[in-house]
Amino acid sequence: MRTRIFLLLVSGLALAPIGAPAIAGAVTQAAASDATRAYRPLQYDNLVLNWNEAVLAAVRQNPPRPTVTARNLHLVHSAIYDAWAAYDEVAIGSRFGRALRRPAVERSEASKSMAMSHAAHRVASALYPGQRALFDALHRALGFSIDWEDQDAASPAGVGNLAADAVLGFWATDGSNWQEDFRDPTGYQPANPPGAAPGAAGYDPNRWQPLTVPTGKARDPSGQPAITADPASYSVQKFLTPHWGEVRPFALPSGDALRPPGPPIFGDPRPYVDARGRTTTNHEAWLEQYGEVLALHGTLDDSAIGAQRRCVAEFWADGPRSDTPPGHWNQIAQGIVLREGYGLGEAAKLYFALTGALHDAAIAAWDAKLGYDSGRPVTAIRHHWANSTVVSWAGPGKGVAAIPGSAWLPYQEATFVTPPFPEYVSGHSTFSMAAATTIARFVGSDVFHDPLHPTSIVLDLDDEPGPDTLGRFVDKDLSFERYDGPPMVLEWPSLFDAAREAGASRLYGGIHIQDANLRGLEMGRAIGEMALDRARQFFDGSATIAETAVLPARP
């Protein structure tokens, strides 16, 4: 699979048994990742899109942390929006309210652009200091000096710098532990330690377990990542940001405000009502839902439906060196901005609302992940079906085969396998439906791909010939498995179709069960509605602002 660039769509493995060596496979290595794609400044006429693309390039050069990515994108776009709002006669900023508003005589497009770029440059550089050169280059290419530290609201640069500092100051105390690189302050310890073997006495299949994952530093004879005695050949997972449910939200009243009922529990005879409203016992629901994942993996063969499901799993994977799900939906929004012909103001408003929704989605999903601490399919299936033979994807280059249940694998990269945090709820589902809901309500339509009126762009960012089409993706190969069949086409008539497919992809990939997907979609829809409602209060000037920033006194 080629680079997964959605906006470019305009108009149109082997995991070791826990603590053991990796299973060998034979398949060519993945195509160039998003991280290696050359970043090009000034791709667009819209400054907001240029800055969004620059920040996504920085995201791709850092470890995949969806919670952190969602927060950082929101901070950048909050500063951009606040700088723009200073030059609007109605909208108010998220930090200064009306206090930063400039007189009508100063409300030129040039002033807005200078202020917005200074705001973006300052916040992005603070959040991603290792990519400062990238941000400097874009800021200069837009015609602005990186040395202007002015704090005078009478100048556009000063407006941007003030907006940036106010945003950074407010969110510095948001509970994310930004100053210590988002280190976990909770002292979380897994119920199943990394060395515990699924299927063994004392193992709890209902609880999450950190995996031992190959890094790719060592390879087996077939060229696949392997775990050896060398500590550099593997890493042991840690729960990524378990404290995120306590981070300050954008529109949610609290991180647990939308916490859903819990997942099914293995061995529990009490009644369980699933996300579709069906009542069984907890144990029966557990067997059904993890069994569904197992059955789906038996379809990941070379048939048309098998290839399509593998393509879906890879397209939405967003694993290492990617934009992560929040960034993926920021890419989608770029295509929407281009199709709708939005200028600076509408683009700034859309991204302010969208990133607020994605930030809240991370908080709500992680609240549930910590609250329920549920096990992933890779450990649950290996536990219950340990002594059974199952028909499933057998690893890179091996296709579908009869394998021991104790060797079951998710359809993922060998060096990623399964994300380093609990299963329930699905972050992909929550992020995706929150984003789709926000974008659709903002635009006034959920149309994504319209075959009768396709929207094409001349840029080609997926390394394939021909223009790209919004809401449609054509792929000719796969990264996790060999593929020699006809092109695979992914097409989403509506944004909600895309969100639902993103959620379903996690079942195909062996990452989530169905209720984690469906509950995440439910949460995401509510989050998207709340986020846009809150953002519109800023747009129409009616918002009440907590801890309003105060302009510094002029000498």
- For every residue of 218-232, DSSP letters joined together read SB-TTS-B---SSGG
Whether the CA torsion 108, 113, 114, 118 is positive or negative: it is positive
Q: Residue 339 — φ and ψ, nearest 5°?
A: -65, -40
The pLDDT, as a whole number, for residue 69 is 98
**CA 312/CA 333 separation, integer angstroms:** 20
Burial of 57 (0-12, 13-18, 19+ CB in 10 A): buried
Burial of 227 (0-12, 13-18, 19+ CB in 10 A): buried
Residue ranges of domains in the chain, CATH in brackets:
34-178+240-539 (1.10.606.20)
Residue 167 is given by DSSP the state: H
The pLDDT, as a whole number, for residue 14 is 32
The pLDDT, as a whole number, for residue 15 is 37
**CA 263/CA 85 separation, integer angstroms:** 43
Half-sphere exposure of 388 (CA within 13 A, CB side): 12
Radius of gyration of the chain from its Cα atoms, rounded to whole angstroms: 23
Q: Which amino acid is at 304?
A: A
The pLDDT, as a whole number, for residue 456 is 62
User: Taking each helix axis from N to C terminus, what angle separates 282-297 and 495-508, rounded to the nearest 10 degrees?
Assistant: 90
Per the CB < 8 A criterion, the answer to whether 439 and 350 are in contact is yes
Distances (CA, A) of 193 to 342, 384, 386: 51, 18, 18
Matching residue, tokens 């994977």? 317
Per-residue pLDDT of the chain (555 residues; tens, 9 = 90+): 544 433 333 322 233 333 333 322 222 233 333 443 567 788 899 999 999 999 999 999 999 999 999 999 999 999 999 999 999 999 999 999 999 999 999 999 999 999 999 999 999 999 999 999 999 999 999 999 999 888 999 999 999 999 999 999 999 999 999 999 999 999 999 999 998 888 888 899 999 999 999 999 999 988 889 999 999 999 999 999 999 999 999 999 999 999 999 999 999 999 999 999 999 999 999 999 999 999 999 999 999 999 999 999 999 997 545 889 999 999 999 999 999 999 999 999 999 999 999 999 999 999 999 999 999 999 999 999 999 999 999 998 899 999 999 999 999 988 888 999 999 999 999 999 999 999 999 999 999 998 877 766 544 445 566 556 889 888 889 988 889 999 999 999 999 999 999 999 999 999 999 999 999 999 999 999 999 999 999 999 999 998 899 888 776
Helix (H, G, I), strand (E, B) or coil at 429: helix
Burial of 374 (0-12, 13-18, 19+ CB in 10 A): buried
The pLDDT, as a whole number, for residue 555 is 61
Most distant CA atoms of the chain, gap in Å: 77
Nearest to 198 by CA among 380, 376, 21: 380
Q: Which residues of 448-469 are buried (b: 16+ CB within 10 A; e: fewer)?
A: bbbeeebbebebebbebeebbb
The pLDDT, as a whole number, for residue 13 is 29
For residue 373, is it left (φ>0), alpha (ψ between -120 and 50) or beta?
left
Reading the block at residue 463, the tokens are 């390394």
Single pTM value for the model: 0.93
**CA 252/CA 269 separation, integer angstroms:** 34
**CA 340/CA 351 separation, integer angstroms:** 14
Reading the block at residue 555, the tokens are 């000498």
**CA 496/CA 474 separation, integer angstroms:** 19
**CA 324/CA 118 separation, integer angstroms:** 26
The pLDDT, as a whole number, for residue 541 is 98
- For every residue of 62-106, DSSP letters joined together read S---HHHHHHHHHHHHHHHHHHHHTT-SS---SSSTTTTPPPGGG
Nearest to 438 by CA among 525, 324, 511: 525
